[in-house]
Amino acid sequence: MIERHVPPLMNVIHSQIESASCPESIKEAMLYSLNAGGKRIRPLLLIMAAQSYKPVTNSAYKLGAALEMIHTYSLIHDDLPSMDNDDYRRGKPTNHRVYGEALAILAGDALLTESFQLVSDISEDDMHPRDIVHITRRMSESAGIRGMVGGQVADIEGEDRALRLEELEWIHRHKTGALLEFAVEAGGILGGAPEGDIAALKIYAENLGLAFQIKDDILDVEGDAEIIGKPVGSDTDNQKSTYPSLLTLSEAKNKLDAHIQTAADALRTVSCDSSALLSILQYVAKRDR
Amino acid sequence: MIERHVPPLMNVIHSQIESASCPESIKEAMLYSLNAGGKRIRPLLLIMAAQSYKPVTNSAYKLGAALEMIHTYSLIHDDLPSMDNDDYRRGKPTNHRVYGEALAILAGDALLTESFQLVSDISEDDMHPRDIVHITRRMSESAGIRGMVGGQVADIEGEDRALRLEELEWIHRHKTGALLEFAVEAGGILGGAPEGDIAALKIYAENLGLAFQIKDDILDVEGDAEIIGKPVGSDTDNQKSTYPSLLTLSEAKNKLDAHIQTAADALRTVSCDSSALLSILQYVAKRDR
């Protein structure tokens, strides 16, 4: 059961934020979005990867909490009026609708900052300081202009025109793929995986990330609005370039299957028991929200 | 000459951002605010502290660039319409006035993220990985809810009411003080300063930070608008709580002198040649912008 890791993960998140001596309002705004649900895909991927090599330690939850904070900060900022201008996220009012724009921006800033503090607090018993520095570097690469933020900028700039398939894929590889790939890589490093395994884990994560995104696009076409927690068909209404719109729905499904297959093939080469990682892959392929 | 460190610092900043493979627009927005001038107080403090113990290395410029990026990100976000809604900064249009709100928010996010990447790239020849991890922790503490962001939230929440002196000081210690203190501490660590010196350097920085802020308030009352690059008397117009408004101008000047004195006294106890740090103190006391 993957989900058993969620309560200890949320404990780390809560104690990290609640221990700070600062105005209560900002803690509340940060925790509101962290508690708003979501699939916790990034921390769970990290924990699964780490656990494939070694029993899970508190450091895995810290690193998982860091990933969830980065993901949550990106959602808060993406939802702002000057970006996607979304009023609802996961069926709840977005952060700025509850706390106002100023506090929402600062809550995002604070979550991003806190994520690096969590990494710096990883125990030396679990990771050599040199590896903690390496994790810091890779995390900032994945989250910044070389990764997530770069993808978000390209996404905004591509909004009002038809994208080519390569452009759409570049956006996904950066906007969502980079952080997913880092999650699996970091889990492998935390678990002490051999170099060759790390390379295979990254291929797995890269293809999992693209599959995840194609599935998102497919769900927007044929998902159930109540299960997804947002309206169906919004991509079409917004004339957004998606895999189904660029490829047809049936070709998008073929592409999804191909990425799932490549990821599964990569998993077959690793030296650990990869059944947990395989189950996440199957979950992404079959999820209905 | 402190200023001779600015060109190599700006070189590190430029090459860090320009080396990224991402949309040009976000690099341009980041560099616009980084190039907008300013006193570069934080990196120069760090470099001065480090240099009091050891010759300056490229790692000092990297860490200095990280500090300047954090400071710049905070200015970009502070200037946003939902925060201070400022159209000009240092006599130039603010970031969101040039690039729009969405890109300004993302440029701030990217600068914050990039700052941690710079720290992770400090050479092991200059700093043990354990110390790099410590610097990462202290930087995130100083920049996040335990420091700068916490102070910014308290500042916003205190805007529409008269503050007590202790509240004003809490805000300054967090909003600006925490990062200045970290700058000097990090410089000491980079220079290999003994523990006792680091403690004294922190007292120096703490009092320098408060002096800096009191001087800002005093300049708003009696500075030259053309030299400062912003209108004089704006604090009074906005009914902002300031040291002169809470204490009288003359008492604020006494308090400034007292902090300068305490900082100078702390410097007298350190084992290095502290003349460069002393000159920054004198600069803060006498600056006209």
- Look at residue A228 and tell me whether its pLDDT is greater than 70: no
Q: Which residue of A has its CA nearest to B78?
A: A102
- Look at residue A280 and tell me whether its pLDDT is greater than 90: no
Percent of chain A exceeding pLDDT 70 equals 98
- Look at residue A227 and tell me whether its pLDDT is greater than 80: no
List chain A residues with CB under 8 Å of B178. none
Q: Is A82 on the interface with B (CB under 8 A)?
A: yes
CB pairs < 8 Å spanning A and B: 173
List chain A residues with CB under 8 Å of B114. 140, 144-145
ipTM exceeding the 0.90 mark: yes
Tens of pLDDT along chain B (289 residues)?
778 999 999 999 999 999 999 999 999 999 999 999 888 999 999 999 999 999 999 999 999 999 999 999 999 999 999 999 999 998 999 999 999 999 999 999 999 999 999 999 999 999 999 999 999 999 999 999 999 999 999 999 998 888 999 999 999 999 999 999 999 999 999 999 999 999 999 999 999 999 989 998 999 898 777 776 667 777 777 778 899 999 999 999 999 999 999 999 999 999 999 998 998 899 888 887 7
| Chain B, window 113-152: residues with a beta carbon less than 8 angstroms from a chain A beta carbon | 113-114, 116-117, 119-121, 124, 128-130, 132-134, 136-137, 139-141, 143-146, 149-150, 152
A135-175 pLDDT per residue, tens: 999 999 999 999 999 999 999 999 888 899 999 999 999 99
Q: Is B257 on the interface with A (CB under 8 A)?
A: no
Dihedral of the alpha carbons of B154, B157, B162, B167, in degrees to the nearest 10: -20
Mean pLDDT of all residues in A90-106:
97
- Give me A76's structure tokens: 């808060």
The pLDDT, as a whole number, for residue A229 is 65
The pLDDT, as a whole number, for residue B68 is 98
The pLDDT, as a whole number, for residue A69 is 98
- Give me B213's structure tokens: 């802020």
Compute φ and ψ for B92, nearest 5 degrees.
Answer: -120, 155
User: B234-264: string of b/e by CB count within 10 Å (b at 16+)?
Assistant: ebeeeebbbbbbbbeeeebbebbeebbebbb
List chain A residues with CB under 8 Å of B77. 105-106, 109
Q: How far apart are CA A288 and CA B16, in angstroms?
A: 41
Place of tokens 């159209």: B87
- Look at residue A230 and tell me whether its pLDDT is greater than 70: no
Query: Structural domain of residue A270, as residue ranges?
Result: 2-286
- Among A201-210, A234-243, B161-170, B226-235, which is the least confidently predicted range? B226-235
Nearest CA of chain B to the CA of A234: how many Å?
21
Q: How far apart are CA B270 and CA B262, in angstroms?
A: 14
| Tally of structural domains, chain A | 1
Which residue, among B27, B113, B121, would best test binding to A if mutated, counting the most A CBs under 10 Å from its CB? B113
Q: Residue ranges of the alpha helices (H) in chain A?
A: 6-18, 24-34, 41-51, 58-79, 95-99, 101-120, 129-143, 148-157, 165-172, 178-191, 195-222, 225-228, 234-237, 243-247, 249-267, 275-286
Specify the CATH number for the domain of residue B226: 1.10.600.10
- Give me B173's structure tokens: 């210690």
| Chain B, window 26-55: residues with a beta carbon less than 8 angstroms from a chain A beta carbon | 26-27, 30
